[in-house]
């Protein structure tokens, strides 16, 4: 069972919900893995505080600049959809940060002049804390492509047990990659115009992926009632509402899981954990 915690808007509480859900599932003696797929700005470790004892680089196979036998025929340049390889006089220059690692240039080179080399784009770390397996994907600063790191983080989770995926904000490729293969998606939002607008985008994205979503409304007593109306109209179940609470904000600031200081947060997560452990794969959480 894979549960993705996502949102359109950033800063709505994805990470704290994901972390507390992982704790709640761990307390129910489930085999649980928390995967931080917000690889541009991973924060789950701040709350979980695991010891990472394993790490592996995420590498993309990109063409090497070292091309022996290149006749500068230009086929690789023409084939590359990402402008990652260009002809300069009698050779080619590679821009590894533009390369998606498709391997096309190698396939089309009639001289077999292109060889691949590993280009580090990030790192996957594994650790453990309080019975929770923790996987963290981190994009190397300056590298533009988050998707390969998200993919590697997702792949690092075991098949069995329950996997809680902490997705990045937005609706673009990194968020989509994080949600792929999930059994259910929980969208965290807040009842403001920005929250509503981005919830709508996220819910559409989830639908395009062929998945169903449910919603947790964080800071449910600020803003207005439009998020609730929207969820009702769209038939998206609201599975939790957490009031604004200074104690939650303070715990968050210190890096403590808010389920330890807020009854509302704790109960919301407990209900979700019960649904996930009892409900099977059927209706969305």
Partner 1 sequence: VKELVVISGKGGTGKTSVIAAFAALAGESVLVDCDVDAADLHLILDPADSRPRVFIGGKVASIDRDACTGCGRCAEACRFEAIVLHDPHGNGGARYAVDPMACEGCGVCSFVCPAGAVSLNEETSGEWTISETRFGPLVHARLLPARGNSGKLVTLIRGAARALANGRHASLVLADGPPGIGCPVIASLSGADAVLIVTEPSLSGLHDLERVTELARGFRMTPAVCINKWDLAPDVTETLAAWCGNEDVPVVGRIPYDRAVTDAQVRGVSVIEHGEGPAASAVRDVWERVGAVLGLETEGEE
Quote the least distance from Cβ 194 to partner 1, whole Å.
Answer: 4
Contact call for residue 63 and partner 1 (CB under 8 A)? no
Taking contact as CB under 8 A, which single stretch among the options 63-71, 198-206, 228-236, 269-277 is the one that binds partner 1? 198-206
Binding mask 256-285 for partner 1 (x = CB under 8 A): ------------------------------
Which residue of 197, 228, 271, 275 would you call a contact of partner 1, by CB under 8 A? Answer: 197
- Which residues between 148 and 187 bind partner 1 (CB under 8 A)? 151, 168-176, 180
Helix (H, G, I), strand (E, B) or coil at 50: coil
Is position 43 an interface residue for partner 1 (rule: CB under 8 A)?
A: yes
Q: Which one of residues 56, 93, 107, 247 is an interface residue with partner 1 (CB under 8 A)?
A: 107
Given candidates 30, 36, 40, 183, which one binds partner 1 under the rule CB under 8 A? 40
Strand order in the sheet with 116-129: 51-63, 116-129, 132-139, 32-36, 162-166, 2-6, 184-189, 213-218, 238-242
124 near partner 1, rule: CB under 8 A: no
Residue 93 engages partner 1 in binding (rule: CB under 8 A):
no
Terminal C-alpha separation, the chain: 12
Please tell me the count of residues contacting partner 1 according to CB under 8 A.
61
- 138-167: b (≥16 Cβ within 10 Å) or e: bbeeebebbbbbbbbbbebbeeeebbbbbb
Residues in CB range of 95: below 8 A, 6 or more apart:
83, 84, 85, 86
Rg (CA), the chain: 22
Distances (CA, A) of 11 to 6, 84, 171, 174, 221: 11, 34, 14, 16, 16
Interacting residues toward partner 1 by CB under 8 A: 8-12, 15, 40-41, 43, 46, 61, 79, 81-82, 100-104, 107-108, 139, 141-146, 151, 168-176, 180, 192-194, 197-198, 201-202, 204-205, 207-209, 222-224, 246, 249-250, 252-255
């Amino acid at each position: 069972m894979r549960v993705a915690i996502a949102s359109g808007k950033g800063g709505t509480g994805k990470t704290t919900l994901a972390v507390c859900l992982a704790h709640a599932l761990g307390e129910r003696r489930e085999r649980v893995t928390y995967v931080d797929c917000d690889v541009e700005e991973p924060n789950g470790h701040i709350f979980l505080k695991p010891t990472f004892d394993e790490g592996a680089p995420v590498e993309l196979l990109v063409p090497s600049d070292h091309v022996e036998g290149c006749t500068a025929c230009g086929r690789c340049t023409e084939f590359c959809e990402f402008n990652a390889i260009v002809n300069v006089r009698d050779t080619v220059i590679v821009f590894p940060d533009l390369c998606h690692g498709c391997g096309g240039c190698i396939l089309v080179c009639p001289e077999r002049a292109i060889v691949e080399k590993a280009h580090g784009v990030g790192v996957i770390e594994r650790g453990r804390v309080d019975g929770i397996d923790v996987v963290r994907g981190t994009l190397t600063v300056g590298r533009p492509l988050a998707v390969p790191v998200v993919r590697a983080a997702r792949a690092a989770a075991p098949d069995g047990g329950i996997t809680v995926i902490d997705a990045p904000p937005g609706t673009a490729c990194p968020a989509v990659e994080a949600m792929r293969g999930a059994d259910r998606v929980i969208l965290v939002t807040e009842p403001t115009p920005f929250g509503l607008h981005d919830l709508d985008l996220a819910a559409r994205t989830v639908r395009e992926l062929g998945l169903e979503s449910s919603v947790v409304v964080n800071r449910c007593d600020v803003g207005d009632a439009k998020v609730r109306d929207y969820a009702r109209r769209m038939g998206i179940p609201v599975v939790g509402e957490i009031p604004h609470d200074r104690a939650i904000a303070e715990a968050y600031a210190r890096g403590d899981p808010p389920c330890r200081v807020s009854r509302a947060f704790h109960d919301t997560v407990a209900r979700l954990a019960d649904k996930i452990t009892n409900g099977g794969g059927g209706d969305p959480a």
